[in-house]
Amino acid sequence: MRTRKIGLDYPSNSEACPVETTLDVIGGKWKGVILFHLIDGKKRFNEFRKLHPCITQRMLTLQLRELERDGVIHREIYKEVPPKVEYSLTEFGRTLEPIILLMKDWGVQHKNSVNKEVRTTRNEELK
Amino acid sequence: MRTRKIGLDYPSNSEACPVETTLDVIGGKWKGVILFHLIDGKKRFNEFRKLHPCITQRMLTLQLRELERDGVIHREIYKEVPPKVEYSLTEFGRTLEPIILLMKDWGVQHKNSVNKEVRTTRNEELK
DNA sequence: CTGAATCCCCAGAGATACTG
DNA sequence: CAGTATCTCTGGGGATTCAG
């Protein structure tokens, strides 16, 4: 999503769309989920894995790195054996909390309205 | 994003994460942008293209179809020549407005804090 | 004008194995 | 424990052409 911007010079790209700016930060495949879990407090690497077994190690690492790079989360490394790393929201990251929480609320309320299955029906109803 | 769910039976997948449900609906590459523009009122196909020249015809069509399939937007076809199609938010779609507007606000406020360029610095600062 | 249909490529993502 | 390092491969997405 970010690479799309490289080399392009459309004048009113993200200028016309602040929404895009936001989605650049939280729109990654698992970023919303990660941020959501961080609202409760700091989490360790394997805690995320337990919370979402379907996220692969690789993807979890990548998404965490991008969030860190964007200044949204902080990565605290404890020089212990065995190693221990804790992720937490930064001040900047906290500004995203309202959005994440609103997304959570919407998800809870409309979970049943959203059809999760593959849509087989393609009703093109003309009128 | 949606296909990921097919065939998987992780117990606490989107159950643990309502955020994921929401992102399934608005997390598509251009969906946030599209929804944002629809808040002002109905839009025609080419209006979107003018608003965001960087979206290809193909992607615009695909994203619109998915949003329609999710019941978020309505596609009104006028049987005229030349053809005319108008997209608008459904009742259901309007429930997403607060989220989109919040994302817009955040984008406006933090546009400058978000580094749009490619990050070349990879400072892994241990402590 | 509003798409649908193809072709095609490569980056995103999975699987697996290895490491400090 | 918390990651890298490769390898692989799919499907997301661009470019182009056709259609009602």
pLDDT tens-digit series, residues B26-64: 999 999 999 999 999 999 999 999 999 999 999 999 999
pLDDT band at A2 (very low <50, low <70, confident <90, very high): very low
Q: Has residue A56 got a pLDDT over 80?
A: yes
What are the structural domains of chain A?
A: 13-126 (1.10.10.10)
Predicted local distance difference test score (pLDDT) of residue A11? 40
Taking the Cβ of residue B118 and every Cβ of chain A, the question of whether any pair is shorter than 8 Å is answered with yes
Q: Has residue B2 got a pLDDT over 80?
A: no
Predicted local distance difference test score (pLDDT) of residue A36? 96
E strand segments, B22-72 = 43-44
Taking the Cβ of residue A112 and every Cβ of chain B, the question of whether any pair is shorter than 8 Å is answered with no
Q: Has residue A13 got a pLDDT over 90?
A: no
- Of the candidates B13, B104, B105, the beta carbon closest to that of A54 is on B13
Higher pLDDT, A119 or B94: B94
Predicted local distance difference test score (pLDDT) of residue A113? 83
Q: Confirm if B41 and B56 have CB atoms less than 8 A apart.
A: no
**Cβ B104–A22 below 8 Å, yes or no?**
yes
* Pair type for strands B73-78 and B43-44: unpaired
Q: Has residue A59 got a pLDDT over 90?
A: yes
**Phi then psi for A3, rounded to 5 degrees?**
-65, -25
**Phi then psi for A34, rounded to 5 degrees?**
-60, -50
Predicted local distance difference test score (pLDDT) of residue B121? 35
Residue of A nearest to B85 (CA): A126
pTM above 0.85, yes or no: no
Predicted local distance difference test score (pLDDT) of residue A123? 35
**Cβ B98–A103 below 8 Å, yes or no?**
no
Q: Has residue A109 got a pLDDT over 70?
A: yes
Higher pLDDT, B30 or A9: B30
Q: Confirm if A127 and B77 have CB atoms less than 8 A apart.
A: yes
Helix locations, chain A, DSSP H: 18-26, 31-39, 45-51, 57-69, 91-94, 97-110
Predicted local distance difference test score (pLDDT) of residue A3? 37
Give the CA-to-C1' distance from B58 to C7 in angstroms: 14
Over residues B10-37, the mean pLDDT reads 81
Predicted local distance difference test score (pLDDT) of residue B35? 97
Over residues A5-31, the mean pLDDT reads 69
Q: Which residue is nearest to nucleotide D20 (CA to C1')?
A: B83
Q: How far is B53 from chain A (nearest CA, A)?
A: 7
- Of the candidates A3, A24, A103, the beta carbon closest to that of B19 is on A103
pLDDT above 70 coverage of chain B, percent:
77
| Highest mean predicted confidence (pLDDT) among A7-11, B9-13, B26-30, B95-99 | B95-99
Residues 88-127/B with CB within 7 Å of nucleic chain C are: none
Predicted local distance difference test score (pLDDT) of residue B125? 31
pLDDT band at A46 (very low <50, low <70, confident <90, very high): very high
